[in-house]
Amino acid sequence: NAGVTQTPKFQVLKTGQSMTLQCAQDMNHEYMSWYRQDPGMGLRLIHYSVGAGITDQGEVPNGYNVSRSTTEDFPLRLLSAAPSQTSVYFCASSRSGRVTYEQYFGPGTRLTVT
Amino acid sequence: AQSVTQLDSQVPVFEEAPVELRCNYSSSVSVYLFWYVQYPNQGLQLLLKYLSGSTLVKGINGFEAEFNKSQTSFHLRKPSVHISDTAEYFCAVSETSSNTGKLIFGQGTTLQVKP
């Protein structure tokens, strides 16, 4: 099993550009989520999904869109990048949204917006 | 709402010495507690979790943590650290009733193990 994979590893964008961060898991997990990690702030939840076709907002959803058409994939879209979105982004998956189940994290995407 | 405070941003320690990473939380409802580790340039990995039962929880790599409800703390300890323990450590909480998978993370503590 590859676990949770994320692409790209690094990305530099100019303000106003759009891009999609890819996340895939091969564990048949129902639950997937996106976090951003900023220095001194820990990780904050952006969006999450409890199954294909079902998504919801987390703590910091503004400026980001998600969709979940398959169990395996959960892409994160930035429609118009802003410098405030410079961060490290982590995707995670779990058997379900119940936090008693372990969440598995991908290796992250480091995004810089200039 | 919940919040998590990790009291030290950086903890330097010599190899084979004991270490304690401190975590305090605030919540008006019952919570589960977690410690995650992030090695350089990697994602987060679960070290241990407290769901219920014994307040002393043992995790991977020789780490353990103690849940103290009266002090709202969940400090992480290891009796003898190795160079390979150098990493960033995150404390996290979640409501026991949650089905959104939402974890509230602390700011992180960087453990620097020196030879």
Residue A112: strand, helix, or coil = strand
CA distance A45 to A92: 10
pLDDT in tens, B14-50: 999 999 999 999 998 899 999 999 998 888 999 999 9
Do the chains contact at B107 and A42, CB–CB below 8 Å?
yes
Interstrand relation of A87-94 and A109-113 (parallel, antiparallel or unpaired):
antiparallel
pLDDT in tens, A57-102: 999 999 999 999 999 999 999 999 999 999 999 999 999 888 888 8
Q: A12-50 burial string, b = 16+ CB within 10 Å, else e?
A: ebeeeeebebbbbbeeebbbbbbbbbeeeebbbbbbbbb
Find chain A residues with C-beta within 8 A of B33's C-beta: none
Residue B87: strand, helix, or coil = strand
Do the chains contact at A108 and B32, CB–CB below 8 Å?
no
Asked if residues A32 and A3 have their Cβ atoms less than 8 Å apart, the reply is no
Percentage of chain B exceeding pLDDT 90: 83
Instruction: Give the pLDDT score at B100.
Output: 83
